[in-house]
Structure 1
Amino acid sequence: MNPAPVSSWRLALTLAGLVALGALASTGLRHWQDRQLGAGLRAQVRPGELRLISSTDCHHCDRARDWLQRQQVAFSECLIERDAECRREHERTGASGTPVVRVAGQVQLGFDPQRVLQRLERLQRLPP
């Protein structure tokens, strides 16, 4: 006996459901990873170690700032258009754009929380 044919709308609905489930799982994984990275950064970063050099019209700067704030990671920020010392600091890095992240004195172009955490973990940490 041959099984009954599956209608095309039913197949399309099933596939759409699988795609939606995959997207939901991916989003959940990304949020879980962000929480893990945020917890790691909160545990590692010391006052004054993380500085975001930004500009007022930088979408990537906005995303970095929002991520750090959502994860409650301590950081400072300056805007190159509003702060002459910040502009000079940015120029000294040789970067052509923003954000520039200064992590414990080391410059990283762009914001990648995993790279920031790796840099902090490589530091020799002495007890306070």
Structure 2
Amino acid sequence: MADPNPLVLQRRALWRRASEPILSIALPLCGRNPAIAKRRWTMLGRMIFALALAFAATAPLSALAAGEANAGAETRPALEVIMYSTATCTYCQKARQWFSSHQVAWDERDIETSATAQKQWKELGGVGTPLVVVNGKPFQGFMESAIEAEIAKYR
């Protein structure tokens, strides 16, 4: 019979040195038979390793599931756009066309025909039309880029 590979011999020597403290604990539990002790510790080590792998595999899945559950909680608030306008305002017409072309739903309130709308317009500091309010933030006049940037925060 040929001598085993030197690497195998080296591994066996390392195992003997590493297992000595373990065997000193395991031997009293296994009736002082080193072969049984070694087998039981090996089996125990494999079970612990399998449990660790199972836990490591399920931890990312549970984190993913928690992330999906919280994904709905982290949604942005609904977009609410209100435009205070008049029937003859040309900038109001431009704003209407822009909202339509960008698929933005808006609530239009005519300050000439509605006393409530006029009161709200004055409370918001209205001095002209249109007064566009995006989720509570007023924009005096139709400032396309500023309104678009604000709307983008909610989409």
Indicate the TM-score class for this superposition, using the shorter chain for normalisation. 0.5 to 0.7
What is the identity, as a one-letter code, of the residue corresponding to 2:136?
A: G
TM-score w.r.t. the length of structure 1 is 0.54
**Structure 1 partner of 2:78:** 46
Aligned twin of 1:116: 147
Secondary structure at the counterpart of residue 115 of structure 1 = helix
Distance (Å, rounded) in 1 between the aligned partners of 2:152 and 2:103: 18
Task: Report 1 or 2 for greater relative contact order, CA contacts < 8 Å, sequence distance ≥ 6.
Answer: 1
Gaps of 5+ in 1: 1-43
Matches within 5 A, 1:1-128: 46-47=78-79, 49-121=80-152
| Alpha-carbon distance between aligned partners in 2 of 1:85 and 1:62, rounded to the nearest angstrom | 22
TM-score by length of 2: 0.45
**Number of residue equivalences:** 80
In the aligned structure 1, how far is the partner of 2:135 from the partner of 2:102? 19
Deviations 1:66-123 (A, max 9, x none): 1211222111111001111111011112222100000110111012232123224557
The structure richer in helix per residue is 2
The residue type paired with residue 82 of structure 1 is T
Cα RMSD of the aligned pairs, angstroms, is 2.4
SS of match in other structure, 1:95: coil
Q: For the pair shown, which has the larger CA radius of gyration, 1 or 2?
A: 2
Unaligned ranges ≥5, structure 2: 1-75
